[in-house]
Amino acid sequence: MLEIKNLHARIVDDGTEIIRGLDLTVKAGEVAAIMGPNGSGKSTLSYILAGREDYEVTEGDILYNGQSILEMDPAERATSGIFLAFQYPMEIPGVATMEFLKVAMNEQRKARGEEPLKIPEFLKRVKDAATLLNMDMAMLKRPLNVGFSGGEKKRAEILQMKLLEPKLCVLDETDSGLDIDALKIVAEGVNALRSPHRAIVIITHYQRLLQYIVPDTVHVLYRGQVVKSGDKSLALDLEANGYAGVIGEAA
Amino acid sequence: MNIHTTPQRTPAETALIDAFGERLSLLPGDGAVMLKRDDAIEAIKNGLPTRRVESWHYTDLRRLLNLNPVPDFDPAASPKAIAPVVDGSAVLPVLNGVSSAKVPDIDGVAVQRLSEKLTDGSIAPGLDSYGADDAIGALNTAFVADGYFVDIADGTELEKPVELQNLQSGGQTHVRLSVRVGAGAKATVVERQTGDGAALVSSVSQLLLGEGAQVTWLIVQEQPDTATHLAQFKAHLGKGAKLTLFVMNAGGKLVRQEVVVKTTGEGADFTLRGINLLAGDTHTDVTMVLDHTVPHTASTEVIRNVVTGKARGVFQGRINVHQYAQKTNAKMACNTLLLSDDGEFSTKPELEIFADDVVCGHGATVTEIDHDHLFYLMARGVDEKTARGLLVKAFVAEVIEELEDEAIVDALEARLDGWFVTHG
C-alpha cells in the first residue's frame, strides 16, 4: 500500500536535510510502528506523507497504491485515503467542530463521487464514534480543538479518523499526553480500524502504546533512515536496551 | 472694490448645490427646519472635506464623490420592501427615501413618519451638525425629507426586532431614523441599508437611550457596488443604559459609516462590534467618535475586516475620556485579514484621556491566513478554496457569535454566507 523509496527531504526555509535515503514498505492490513530517538525525522516523515509545504522532497519517491503522491496537495492526499493524526492538533477558533466534520466528510464523499450525507445520518455517525471514544457531544459544539485538553485533542483526532475511514492511517505520537485510561480508549479506537484493506503507521517514542496496539512490523528511524526493521519483539528489545545498541550497529 | 473668491467647485459639489435649488420647494419643514437646511447647504458650498481635514484624512470625500457622478433624484424609483434579516421582525420600510403611511402596530411603540416631524418642526434641534467636519450631517440635514420617528415607551420589552429598512433603486435618498428608547425598555433594532441602484444615499440614525434601557442595534449595509453610502449613527446613553451596536458593511462603492456615541449617564455600557467585508474596487470607512463624559462607564470595540481585490478600508476609532469621567474602562481592537496584494486597510486608533483613573487600551493587527490552520483543514480532505473560505468566515464569525441571541447570530451568519457565495 505504501512504498517509500530512497526518500530525501529537507526543510524549505533553511535547506536542512532531515530525511536521508529512507526506505519503507507497508502492506495493506499491516500495522507498522516507527520508533526512534528525538530528532530522527519521525514527525517530519508524517508531515511529508500528508503533504505539508514546509518540506521539500529532493530525491526518491512515495508510492501509495503504486502511484506517486508527491505532486498531490494535502487535500488530494486526504481524499485518496491518507490520514494523519497530528501530534499537536491545531486549535482553530471560529470553526465549529461539527461544521468542520460535516464539511470534511462531505468533501471526501464528493471527491469519491458520493452524495453528501443527510444530516440525521451524519449526526448518528458522529454520535456513535464519540460514544466509542467516550467523548462528550457538548465538546463537539465548541470551535475545533479550542480549549480541548491534550487528551481531548488526541481523541478528537481518532474520532476524525473513524469518521473519514481512511485507507492509510498515520498516527504521530498519538500516545503523548494521554493518561493510561485515555490511552486504552484511543488504542481500542485504533484497533477497531484494523482491517485487511487498511494500513496503519504508528509513530511513537515508547513501547507503551504498542502493548495496546500490537504492531506487525517495527522500524527504527535514525538520522532520516530506517536503520533496523523487525517484528514486535524489536520494540521490546528497544524498551529494555534503549536505542544505543541499534544505532551503534547502524553506525 | 471687493475681492470675491469662489472656490473651484468639483462636479459633485456643483451637482449637490444645484439639486438643493431644485428640491427646495419639495422639502418638508417649518421655518426652523428650513433655517437648518440653509446652514447645511452653506457648509457644502464651502467645500466638501478633503484629506487635509483630519477626520477625513483617509477618505477624501471631495475627490471620491466624483468617482461616480452624483445622480439626480429619481421619483420613479420604486424599490420593494424585502424580507427582514431576522424572521418575524416588524418592518418599517423607507422606499426611495419615502416612509410608509401604513406600518405595523407594535405594542408600546409609537411610530411617526419623519416628514410629519419635519413639517411641525419638532425635530429641528436634532438636525444640528456635531462639528465643522460633519459633512454627512450637513448633507443629510440639507436634503432629508423622510424616515421614521420611533418612540419605545418606558418599560417596554420587545420580543421581536424592529427592522428599519432603507431601500434604494437609484437616484438620491436622504433619510433620518430617530429612535427613543424609554427607561428600562429593551429592544433590538435592525437598520437595513440596501438597494440595487447607482444611488447616493445619506442616512442618519439617532438613538436616545433612557435610564437602564438595553438596545441591540444591528446595521446591515449591503449596497451594490455602484452606490455611495454615507451614514451616521448617533447615540446618547443614559444612566445604566446598555447599547450593543453591530455594524456589518458588505457592499457599496464608497461607504462611510460614522458612529458617534456619548455616555451621558453613570454606569452606561457601550459595545461596538463590526465586520467589514471588502471586495472589488471599493472604499469603506468606519469612523467612530466615542465620548465618555461621566464616571463609571465602559466600552469595548472590536472591528474585524476582510480585504480582497483592490478594496480599501479604514477604521478610525477615537475615544475621548473627559476630565470627570473617572473609572472609565475602554478597550478597542481592529483586526484585518488581508487576502490580496492590492487591498489595503488603514487603522487609526486615538485615545484622548483627561481623567487620571481609567483603564483604556487599543490594539491593531493585520494578518494573512494561518498556513498551519490551512494545512490542518486540507489534511482532512477540504480543498484549498473551501478551507480558505472556512478560515475567513471563522475570522469574522467570532465577532457575530458574541451577540449570543441565536436568531440574530443565525440571521447574520446567513448574510455572511451570502457574501462569501458572491465574493469567495
pLDDT tens per residue across span A139-167: 898 899 999 988 899 999 999 999 999 99
Q: Kindly list the distances between the CA atom of residue A2 and the CA atoms of A31, A64, A103, B223, B272, in Å, as whole numbers in the listed order.
A: 12, 5, 27, 54, 54
Tell whether A74 is within 8 A of chain B (Cβ): yes
Q: Do A92 and B379 touch (CB under 8 A)?
A: no
Closest Cα to residue B271, out of B229, B209, B314?
B209
Instruction: Measure the CA–CA gap between B64 and B228, rounded to whole angstroms.
Output: 10
Q: Tell me which residue has cell 481512511.
A: A166
Minimum-distance CB partner of B382 among A75, A83, A90: A75
Partner B contacted by A73 (CB < 8 A): yes
Q: What is the mean pLDDT of residues B5-19?
A: 88
- How much of chain B, in percent, has pLDDT values that exceed 70? 98
Q: Which residue has the higher pLDDT, B117 or A238?
A: B117
CB A179 within 8 A of CB A151: yes
Q: Give the number of beta-carbon pairs within 8 Å between A and B.
A: 75
Q: What pLDDT was estimated at residue A226?
A: 94
* pTM greater than 0.90 (yes/no): no
CA dist A42 to A75, A78, A218, B143, Å?
21, 20, 13, 71
List, for residues B147-189, the tens digit of each pLDDT value. 999 999 999 999 999 999 999 999 999 999 999 999 999 999 9
Residue A237: per-residue pLDDT: 87
Q: What percent of chain A has pLDDT over 70?
A: 99
Establish if B294 belongs to a structural domain.
Answer: yes
- The DSSP result for B173-209, as a single string, is EEEEEEEEE-TT-EEEEEEEEEESSS-EEEEEEEEEE
Asked, for residue B2, whether it belongs to a domain, the answer is no
Shortest CA distance from B396: residue in chain A: A94
With an 8 Å Cβ cutoff, are B398 and A94 in contact? yes
pLDDT digits (tens, 9 = 90+) for B72-114: 999 999 898 899 999 999 999 999 999 999 999 999 999 999 9
Task: Give residue B313's identity as a one-letter amino acid code.
Answer: G
Kindly report the average pLDDT of chain B as a whole number: 94
Residue B6 domain flag: no
pLDDT computed for residue A92 by the predictor:
92
Span B237-280, pLDDT tens digits? 999 999 999 999 999 999 999 999 999 999 999 999 999 999 99
Residue A248 has pLDDT above 80, yes or no: no
In this predicted structure, the answer to whether residue B25 has a pLDDT above a threshold of 70 is yes
pLDDT category, A69, cuts 50, 70, 90? very high
Other residues' Cβ atoms within 10 Å of the Cβ of residue B57: 15
Q: What is the CA radius of gyration of chain B?
A: 21
Question: What pLDDT, in 10s, does the model give residues A200-217?
Answer: 999 998 888 899 999 999
Domains of chain B: total: 1
Question: Which of B373, B380, B410 has the highest number of chain A CBs within 10 A, making it the mutation to test binding with A?
Answer: B380
pLDDT at B2 over 60: no
- On average, the pLDDT of chain A sits at 92
Residues of B with Cβ-Cβ distance to A143 under 8 angstroms: 394
Interatomic CA distance for residues B287 and B62, integer angstroms: 17
What chain A holds in terms of domains, given with CATH numbers, is: 2-250 (3.40.50.300)
**B5 occurs within a structural domain:** no
Q: Do B378 and A74 touch (CB under 8 A)?
A: yes
Task: Report which of B166, B191, B141 is spatially closest to residue B77, judged by C-alpha positions.
Answer: B166
- Which residue is associated with the grid cell 436622504? B174
Nearest to B394 among A50, A79, A95 (CB): A95
**Which of B370, B378, B395, B402 to mutate to test binding with chain A, by most A CBs within 10 Å of its CB?**
B378
Q: Is A111 on the interface with B (CB under 8 A)?
A: yes
Q: Is A116 on the interface with B (CB under 8 A)?
A: no
Domain holding B60, by residue range, is: 11-423
Pairwise CA distance, residues A174 & A178, whole Å: 8
Check residue B218 and give its pLDDT: 98
Q: Is B17 on the interface with A (CB under 8 A)?
A: no
Tell me whether B376 touches chain A (CB under 8 Å).
yes
Judged against a pLDDT cut of 80, whether residue B5 lies above it is answered with no
User: B25 exposed, middle or buried (CB, 10 Å; 0-12, 13-18, 19+)?
Assistant: exposed
A44 to chain B, any CB pair closer than 8 A? The answer is: no
> Would B4 be classed as within a structural domain?
no
pLDDT at B291: 95
Q: Is some CB atom of chain A closer than 8 A to the CB atom of B369?
A: no
In 3-state terms, what secondary structure has residue B151?
strand
User: Average pLDDT of B300-313?
Assistant: 96
Query: Are residues A51 and B379, on separate chains, in Cβ contact within 8 Å?
Result: yes
Across the range B304-328, mean pLDDT stands at 95
A107 in reach of chain B (CB within 8 A): yes
Q: How far apart are CA B368 and CA B391, in angstroms?
A: 10
Query: Is residue A125 predicted with pLDDT exceeding 60?
Result: yes
- Identify whether B381 is part of a domain: yes
Give the pLDDT score at B13.
Answer: 96
Question: Do B394 and A94 touch, CB atoms closer than 8 A?
Answer: yes
- pLDDT, tens digit, for every residue of B365-379? 999 999 999 999 999
Interchain CB contact of B398 with A (< 8 Å): yes
User: What is the number of residues in chain A?
Assistant: 251
In a domain, B45, yes or no: yes
Chain B residues touching A84 at Cβ < 8 A = 379
B22 lies in a domain?
Answer: yes
Report how far Cα A73 is from the mean position of its chain's Cα atoms. 17
Structure ipTM: 0.95
Query: Lowest-pLDDT range, B3-7, B127-131, B374-378, B393-397?
Result: B3-7
Window 162-191 of A: residues touching B by CB (8 A cutoff) are 164
- Compute CA distances A219 → A228, A232, B309, B312, whole Å: 6, 10, 50, 55
In single-letter form, the type of residue at position B9 comes to R
Q: What are the two backbone dihedrals, phi and then psi, of residue B138, each rounded to the nearest 5 degrees? A: -65, -45
